[in-house]
A and B are shown apart, each in its own frame.
Chain A
Amino acid sequence: MKNSDNVEKNRLLLYIGMVDFAVVELNEFLDTHPQCQEALEYFNYYNQLKNNALEEYAKLYGPLTIRDACNCGNEWKWVTQPWPWEGVC
């Protein structure tokens, strides 16, 4: 993989981490505030951004979830791409 590709891949992964952080925060907040309309709207918004980004990442580099594992080429990239603890992208 070219270096510029790696930079782009890292950028997208970082973006997924950011929008997912909002999703996790809102998920836990909504557990104790299930009627909060503002939080519900935020949750829907960030969850959509997250799902779109996960789909885009899967198409370009391989799946981060099994849900996104179809249409990722002619091999099972789930295991041919690095695992997250390896410290490489």
Chain B
Amino acid sequence: MWSYDKRLQYPVKITHTNPKIAQIIITQFGGPDGELAASMRYLSQRYSMCDRRVAGLLTDIGTEELAHMEMICAIVYQLTKNLCMEELVASGFDKYYVDHTLALWPLAASGSPWTATYFQSKGDPITDLHEDMAAEQKARTTYDNILRLVKDPEVCDPIRFLRQREIVHYQRFGEGLRLIQDDLNSKNFYAINPEFDQNKSDCECKE
């Protein structure tokens, strides 16, 4: 179950359109390290996560990523609102426009469409948490790159907020990994996959 809050997690109010930077920022909607991939990664991984605390973390961070996706979409939407044809062609936005007009569609800055192959859901808590920590760092690097390319303070402000969240989520996933490792049977540390080949009665990481 989910419910929607009719507000952005952090305000987005952009007064100057700029289709050039919209084409860069859209990568955090549908690109390999974008918010859609982040949300789908965590919300897919949570079902088989054997530790309830970490399953909660995946649920809540996966939900927050949806709010980040909405902020990115709001930025792109406002950067391309009411564009004139000359502006649109001069910025190279015409190639997106021909397929999607001014609608939002998830793709990378390179033009590749969003795909589920951007993330993994492996069913091993250690494997999945390492993927999640890496994902947060990759997204943080992407935001750093965006901040080097974009100068409009009205765009940079919400982008900086999103960058900070990657750092906090990395921290939380690191704590999640520690919780899992603390609960592992040390004799089986390297050998077993605790979500798959341990039965419930002797699973060390169940409560």
Chain A residues close to B by CB (< 8 Å): 13-14, 16-17, 20-21, 24-25, 27-29, 31-34, 63-67, 78, 81, 83-85, 87
Contact = CB atoms under 8 A, between A and B. Distances in A.
B56 to A, nearest CB: 4
Nearest to B14: A87
Interface residues of B, number: 30
Interface in B55-69: 56-57, 60-61, 64
A66 B2 CA distance: 11
B74 A85 contact: yes
The binding surface of chain B is classed by DSSP as: helix
Contacts of B53: 31-32, 34
A78 B5 CA distance: 11
Contact of B57 (A21, A28, A67, A87): A28
Given A85-B70, A85-B77, A87-B14, A65 B61 contact: no
A31 B6 contact: no
B6 A63 contact: yes
Contacts of A33: 175
Contacts of B172: 28-29, 31-32
A20 B5 CA distance: 11
A64 B4 CA distance: 8
Interface string B151-164: 00000000000000
A65 B10 contact: no
B13 interface: yes
Given A31-B172, A85-B8, A87-B14, 5 more contacts: A20-B5, A21-B9, A32-B53, A32-B179, A33-B175
A79 B41 CA distance: 31
Q: Which of A17, A67, A83, A87 has the most CB of B within 10 A?
A: A87
B20 to A, nearest CB: 19
